[in-house]
Chains A and B, each alone.
Chain A
Amino acid sequence: MSPLEYDYTIIGAGPAGMAAAITARQHGLRVLILDEQHNAGGQIFRNIEGIEKNLNSEYRKLGDEYKSGWSLVKEFKKCGADYFSERSVWQIDKDLGIHHVSTNSKSFSSSIPSYIKTKNLLIAVGAMERPMPLPGWTLPGVMACTAVDALYKTSGLVPDKDVILAGSGPLLLLIACRLLDAGVHISALLDTNQRFAILKASPFLPQALRSFSYLKKGISMMQKIKNAGIPIYTGIKSIEALGKSKFEKVRFKNGTEFIELSAGMLLLHNGVVPNIQITRQLGCEHRWYELQRYWEPVADDWGNTSLDGVSIAGDCGKISGSSISELTGNLAALDTVYKIGAISKVKRNQFSQPHRKELSYHKAVRPFLDKLFQPGKSWLIPEKKETIVCRCEEVTVNDIRQAISMGAQSPDRIKSLVRCGMGPCQARMCGLTVSEILADARNISPEEVGYLKIRSPIKPITLGKLAEID
């Protein structure tokens, strides 16, 4: 086999990718894993090795779940997979040739971009923040909650002034607690969840009780936030970030009155959604998950997508958290190990049994959580029409609505009229919102409306590097 050909290539060294690599290596497959970050761990276990080594006091605060990641990373590092860090995949060909490039291209001494062939591909790129467009969200000083969490994990940095958190979802609670532990002053929490959401979610509670540890954790986080005396505003109606050239204060509607609060930073979080940039470029089929309002690649219970040889695992398939990510990584790898002929079908099913059992335990809580934290319409489609939807091209809700009134019936037509999705981020920040607005205007489901067409380059590549590819 030539050095650049693999049995199994995994994109993403988070829990799903690492678990898959370990499993595949146990059965002797030739494995490559590509990841954009400097260190393995994905987002959940971001910089876990670095923290354990350099920030041990913080590491100890981070809890058992995080620590379980440490042993996973250690096992991954010795499993014998080829591991290219700081690599961005910019195109995957139909025959599963993978084009990737270093995240850091130095101008005059660029390393040759790489191309590898693989028999099987696992996409384990995880999730990203659901966009939460609101007036002023492009101001410096407004950041995603998970961004501040990443800064804490990779650099031991925390906001030095007070912060206001806004949004909804389990991660919002988790990050709030983390910030509290780090000594950050949270001056308010704006809960955008619908009032009495818990009542709506209660039908799923009995099932959720099977994975009681999740619920227990959730309750203890909420208690911690309450005990810290953080003012919590619930069922709020509209949020605006205000400031001249950076964030200075937030203005929101609580019931009928408007409240303004100053702070150093505004941190937003409206749940996470699968990162489908690569699966879209490849041409995998996707389906709409109505409850949590996102697209996920269509896949069977081994993670096999609609394309031969391509499977998914972890949060890029369905948002489920790190435990499920590891388990789906194992299952995807086992199926590939079987397909490649290293084990029999019987063995595959046998090895997968304990993973499936554990999976059903962790999955039990998901319907409840997904319903409890169902995103509300006003957070999916900004009410103020001057709100920027496409940050790269500064395209507003109004611009998009105008394109629709000109007869645009598809996201791509809207794009051709107002340029949303043409910027460097290639619709990662605006794609979902564009589909929501169009679906709302046409009174149909986003599933019918579809999504913008995603093409290569999945990540920017210089013309020079493109000219040098194999």
Chain B
Amino acid sequence: MIEKQADVVVIGGGIIGISLAYGLSKQNAKVLLIDKEDPLLTASRGNFGLVWVQSKGEGMPEYVEWCIEAADKWPQFSENLETETGIQLEYAKNGGLEIWLGDEEYNTRVNFIDKMRKQSRSGTYDCEMLKTKELQEMLPEIKLGEEVSGGSFCPHDGYVNPLNLVKAMHKGFKLSGGNYYSGQSVTNIEFLEPGFRIHTENNSYIAEKLVIAGGLVSKKLGKMVDIDVPVGPERGQVLVTERTKKILPFPATRIRQNFDGSFLFGNSNEKVGYNIETTSEVMKKIAIRAIRTFPYLKNLQLIRSWSALRVLTPDRNPVYVESKTCPGAFAVTSHSGVSLASVHSSNLGEWIIEGSHQAKFEVFHPRRFDVPKTA
């Protein structure tokens, strides 16, 4: 087998990997993307499709800023990608909601917003609380349930069809001269000082730079180049309805309506290891919450469901790291791959190729998880 050579090899063809590969190839790097396509571990196919700022980054103001930068860049990113590939992303940015049931949830949110405002470097946090009446005015075609105590609205939020997004970036990657190899499982990585030789079962690839974006597999891959990628699985289940009349103009974290009229309902956060089954208990919980929010939904027919494993770091925020002993090897992980696609395909690529923005990404280094030794 002929060894393949490139400027950069990206391991992992999910949303993170393809965003990076696409961005790098648009920055004129010669990029190879290798992907195993493991059905248990593909998180990108289980995505809810939110392009989101609200609720993220508690304890890490730099991450909030990063999310806002990504959200600001998304409309142009989307337009460019659609024009380039002809694939409709079904993206809309009109702001997003979290809908609260009962006073306790409402008050918890008020406190959270206050906390986020205090931690921010700008002294602001773009999320406003809405009482039930104001919230209902935003949703003239669908009535809120009686227990709804209000909502929080963030103007940065939006939504997209995540499957089309991944598909479009793959197409864009190919059009920019990128090469994608699926069915490849990495067995070993050699550090060539400089550069890397990546071995899969039947092939090998050489590149100056290596990016590990393998989701839950990144932990194992990172060890091969002396990077600690502390990720673990968290299951989420989603329910999908038949296509129906469009009535919900804003996405909420647990309920949104696709361009085609079908509704998606989430979410669950389950620590069940490497298990992607759907369970009646969780499905029931999701259904109950959805109906408490909008009673109208109770007669919609559910036709399918999915379940996938989120790739989570201990604080749920991204990890961007370059190996110290094997410079040129990077690892990128985040469970907000969709929201960050706009910056993963631009800023992050620049960091990988040129080393710029390094200081900006220091805060995302995994050393932040090291438990400090007591004196």
- Asked if chains A and B come from one complex, the reply is yes
| Chain A interfacial positions (CB closer than 8 Å to B) | 91, 93-94, 97, 99, 107, 406-410, 412-413, 416-417, 419, 422-424, 426, 453, 455-457, 460-464, 466-467, 469
Given contacts A409-B182, A453-B39, A467-B288, contact A462 B298 (CB under 8 A): yes
Tell me if A457 and B167 are in contact (CB < 8 A).
no
**Extra pairs beyond A409-B37, A460-B301 (14, CB < 8 Å):** A97-B280, A406-B171, A412-B45, A423-B303, A456-B278, A457-B305, A462-B300, A463-B300, A464-B298, A466-B283, A466-B287, A467-B284, A467-B287, A467-B288
Question: How far does the alpha carbon of A410 sit from the alpha carbon of B283 in the complex, in Å?
Answer: 27
Tell me if A413 and B37 are in contact (CB < 8 A).
yes
Ordered by A's residue number, 8 sampled pairs between the chains whose C-beta atoms are within 8 Å are A416-B167, A423-B303, A460-B301, A460-B303, A462-B301, A463-B291, A463-B297, A464-B299
Partner of A422, one of B13, B297, B298, B304: B304
Partner of A409, one of B183, B277, B297: B183
Question: How far does the alpha carbon of A469 sit from the alpha carbon of B301 in the complex, in Å?
Answer: 15
**Residues of the B chain whose Cβ atoms lie less than 8 Å from the Cβ of A466:** 239, 283-284, 287, 302
**Residues of the B chain whose Cβ atoms lie less than 8 Å from the Cβ of A422:** 240, 304
Given contacts A406-B171, A455-B304, A466-B284, contact A417 B183 (CB under 8 A): no
Interface string of B277-312 (1 = CB under 8 A from A): 111100110011011000001111111111100000
Question: How far does the alpha carbon of A409 sit from the alpha carbon of B34 in the complex, in Å?
Answer: 13
Judged by a CB distance under 8 angstroms, whether B242 is at the interface is yes
**Residues of the A chain whose Cβ atoms lie less than 8 Å from the Cβ of B37:** 408-410, 413
Shortest beta-carbon distance from B180 to chain A in Å? 5
Judged by a CB distance under 8 angstroms, whether B60 is at the interface is no
Given contacts A407-B182, A409-B183, A463-B297, contact A469 B302 (CB under 8 A): no
Shortest beta-carbon distance from B170 to chain A in Å? 6
| Chain B interfacial positions (CB closer than 8 Å to A) | 13, 35, 37, 39, 42, 45, 163, 166-167, 170-171, 174, 180-183, 239-242, 265, 277-280, 283-284, 287-288, 290-291, 297-307
| 6 nearest CB pairs, A to B | A464-B298, A407-B182, A466-B287, A467-B287, A460-B301, A467-B288
Partner of A469, one of B284, B290, B303, B305: B284
Question: How far does the alpha carbon of A284 sit from the alpha carbon of B258 in the complex, in Å?
Answer: 33
Tell me if B39 and A407 are in contact (CB < 8 A).
no
Total contacts A to B, CB within 8 angstroms? 97
Interface of A is mostly: loop
**Residues of the B chain whose Cβ atoms lie less than 8 Å from the Cβ of A455:** 278, 304-307
**Residues of the A chain whose Cβ atoms lie less than 8 Å from the Cβ of B35:** 407
Q: Which residue of A lies closest to B298 (CB)?
A: A464
Question: How far does the alpha carbon of A460 sit from the alpha carbon of B299 in the complex, in Å?
Answer: 11
Tell me if A424 and B303 are in contact (CB < 8 A).
yes
Question: How far does the alpha carbon of A409 sit from the alpha carbon of B239 in the complex, in Å?
Answer: 26
Shortest beta-carbon distance from B133 to chain A in Å? 26
Given contacts A407-B180, A463-B241, A469-B284, contact A416 B163 (CB under 8 A): yes
Tell me if A416 and B304 are in contact (CB < 8 A).
no
Q: Which residue of A lies closest to B180 (CB)?
A: A407
Question: How far does the alpha carbon of A461 sit from the alpha carbon of B265 in the complex, in Å?
Answer: 14
Question: How far does the alpha carbon of A461 sit from the alpha carbon of B280 in the complex, in Å?
Answer: 12
Tell me if B299 and A469 are in contact (CB < 8 A).
no
**Residues of the B chain whose Cβ atoms lie less than 8 Å from the Cβ of A464:** 287, 291, 297-299
Question: How far does the alpha carbon of A457 sit from the alpha carbon of B279 in the complex, in Å?
Answer: 10
Tell me if A417 and B167 are in contact (CB < 8 A).
yes
**Residues of the B chain whose Cβ atoms lie less than 8 Å from the Cβ of A426:** 303-304
Tell me if A407 and B302 are in contact (CB < 8 A).
no
Shortest beta-carbon distance from A285 to chain B in Å? 16
Question: How far does the alpha carbon of A248 sit from the alpha carbon of B301 in the complex, in Å?
Answer: 34
**Residues of the A chain whose Cβ atoms lie less than 8 Å from the Cβ of B170:** 406-407
Question: How far does the alpha carbon of A419 sit from the alpha carbon of B242 in the complex, in Å?
Answer: 14
**Residues of the A chain whose Cβ atoms lie less than 8 Å from the Cβ of B239:** 463, 466
Question: How far does the alpha carbon of A74 sit from the alpha carbon of B175 in the complex, in Å?
Answer: 67
Shortest beta-carbon distance from A310 to chain B in Å? 16
Question: How far does the alpha carbon of A462 sit from the alpha carbon of B242 in the complex, in Å?
Answer: 10
Question: How far does the alpha carbon of A410 sit from the alpha carbon of B42 in the complex, in Å?
Answer: 12
Tell me if A93 and B280 are in contact (CB < 8 A).
yes
Tell me if A467 and B298 are in contact (CB < 8 A).
yes
Question: How far does the alpha carbon of A226 sit from the alpha carbon of B239 in the complex, in Å?
Answer: 53
Given contacts A407-B181, A409-B183, A467-B288, contact A457 B298 (CB under 8 A): no
Shortest beta-carbon distance from B236 to chain A in Å? 14
Tell me if B45 and A460 are in contact (CB < 8 A).
no
Q: Which residue of B lies closest to A450 (CB)?
A: B39
